[in-house]
Amino acid sequence: MSQRVLSWSRARAAAGGWGWRGTDALVRGAVGGLGLIACGVVLHRVELVFLGAPLLVSTVLALAVPVGTVPVPTVARLPRTVEAGDDGLQTITFPADAGVEFLAVRLPVPDGAGIGPVHLVPGSAESIRVRLRWNAWGEGVDLRPDHLVAGRDALLISGPVTGRESRRTVLPPVVPLPPGPLPPRIAGLVGAHRSARPGDGTELRAVRPFQPGDRVRRVDWRVTLRAGAATGDVLGPGTLHVRERHAEADAELMLAIDSRVDVVPELARWFDSDDSAVRAGGTLDASVRAVAALAAGYLRQGDRVGLIDLGRPQLGIAPGAGHRQLLRIRHQLVACSRAAGWAPKPVLRARQVPSGAVVLVLSPFLDDAIADCVALAARRGELVIAVDMLPPTLIADTESPWGEVVRQVLVGEHRARLAALKARGVAVVPCGAVAATLRRVRRRR
**Tens-place pLDDT, residues 223-252:** 777 777 766 666 666 678 877 776 566 688
254 DSSP β-pair partners: 306, 359
Average pLDDT, the chain: 81
How confident is the model at residue 203, as a pLDDT? Answer: 62
For 232: left if phi > 0, alpha if psi spans -120 to 50, otherwise beta; the answer is: left
User: Where are the extended beta strands (E) located within 94-172?
Assistant: 100-106, 118-122, 127-133, 138-143, 146-151, 156-161, 166-171
The DSSP 8-state label assigned to residue 134 in this structure reads -
Q: Which residues contact 73 (CB under 8 A, 6 or more apart)?
A: 92, 93, 94, 103, 105, 145, 147, 163
What pLDDT does 355 receive? 84
CA 185, 189, 192, 193 torsion-angle sign: positive
At 249 the pLDDT is 61
Q: Specify the pLDDT at position 143.
A: 79
pLDDT band for 1, please (50, 70, 90 cuts): very low
Distance CA 321, CA 291 (A): 15
Residue 3: per-residue pLDDT: 53
CB 149 within 8 A of CB 19: no
Q: Given pLDDT bands bounded at 50, 70 and 90, which one contains residue 81?
A: confident
- Does residue 314 surpass a pLDDT of 70? yes
Residue 45, pLDDT score: 85
Find the mean pLDDT for residues 34-49. Answer: 85
Q: In this prediction, what percent of the chain has a pLDDT beyond 70? A: 83
Which pLDDT score is estimated for 41? 85
Comparing 108-112, 133-137, 302-306, 425-429, the range with the smallest average pLDDT is 108-112
Mean pLDDT of 422-428: 91
Burial state string for 303-314 with b = 16 or more CB within 10 A and e = fewer than 16: bbbbbbbbbbbe
Q: For position 232, what pLDDT does the model report?
A: 65
316/45 Cα distance (integer angstroms): 85
* CA distance linking residue 191 with residue 1, whole number of Å: 90
Q: What is the pLDDT of residue 310?
A: 94
Residues 28-42: what's their mean pLDDT?
85
- Name the pTM for this structure: 0.72
What element of type H or E holds 209?
strand 193-209
Q: Residue 194 to residues 117, 154, 164, 444: CA-CA distances in angstroms?
A: 58, 77, 55, 15
For residue 377, the SS3 value is helix
Rg of the chain on CA atoms, in Å: 36
Predicted confidence (pLDDT) per residue in 328-382, tens digit? 999 999 999 988 888 889 999 999 998 888 899 999 999 999 999 999 999 998 8
Tell whether the model's pLDDT for residue 8 goes beyond 50: no
For residue 66, the model assigns a pLDDT of 79
Residue 185 has pLDDT above 60, yes or no: no
Confidence of residue 4 (pLDDT cuts 50, 70, 90): very low
Which pLDDT does position 5 carry in this prediction?
Answer: 43
Question: pLDDT by residue (tens digit) across 118-148?
Answer: 878 888 787 888 888 888 888 877 778 888 8
3-state DSSP assignment of residue 252:
strand
| Beta strand segments in 290-403, E | 304-309, 317-320, 358-363, 383-388
**What are the strands, taking DSSP E only, across 274-315?**
304-309
Average pLDDT over residues 397-410: 91
Question: What φ, ψ does residue 143 adopt, rounded to 5°?
Answer: -155, 130
Provide the phi-psi class of 261: left if phi over 0, else alpha when psi is between -120 and 50, else beta: beta
